Amino acid sequence: MTPTSRGSITLSSADPLTSPVIDPNYYAIEADRETTDGVSLVEAEVPPDGFAELKVESTDEEIDARVRRARNTFYHAAGSASMGKVVDSQLRVYGVKGLRVMDASVIPVPIAAHYQACVYAIAEKAADLVLQTSGAKVSDVV
C-alpha cells in the first residue's frame, strides 16, 4: 500500500531541545481508508472448517476502528525534509549555507517499496555532489 495522506512536522518551541510536533495524519484521505476493503476480503475468505474461531464478520466501522488502532509506520518515516520544500536538487537546505540532507527525509512522495535502496541511491548521488562541489576526486578521499 502506498499511502497518499500527508502529515506534518512543526516546531513546538524555539528551544532546539524541545521535541517537534509530529502529526502523521494517517487515513486523512478516503483512498487510504479503503484498506478496510482488504480486511473485509480476508475475513470473507477464512475457511469455515478448522478456523471457525478465527472467523469474524465485522462492520465497516469496526474494521476502520481496528485498522486505525493497528496502524504503524514500521519506523520508515520519510519526506520530512522533502526535495523542493526543504532542500534543492543538490540536497542543500534552503537558507542554511553548507548543510545538505542525505537520507530518506528528502524523498518527496511515499513509495511502494522498502526505502533502503532509495537511501543508497541518495547517498551515492550526495557523495558525487559533495565531491563535485569541493573539487575533490574519488582518488583523493579513498
Q: Which string of b and e fits 58-73 if b means at least 16 CB within 10 Å?
A: eeeeebbeebeeeeee
Taking the CA of residue 74 as centre, how many other CA atoms within 13 Å lie in the half-sphere pointing to its CB?
4
Q: What residue has cell string 523542493?
A: 84
- Cell numbers describing residue 142: 579513498
Mark whether 114 is an active-site residue: no
Active-site residue (options: 55, 71, 76, 85): 76
CB 101 within 8 A of CB 81: yes
- Cα–Cα distance for residue pair 64/35, rounded to 1 Å: 8
Residues with a catalytic annotation lie at 76
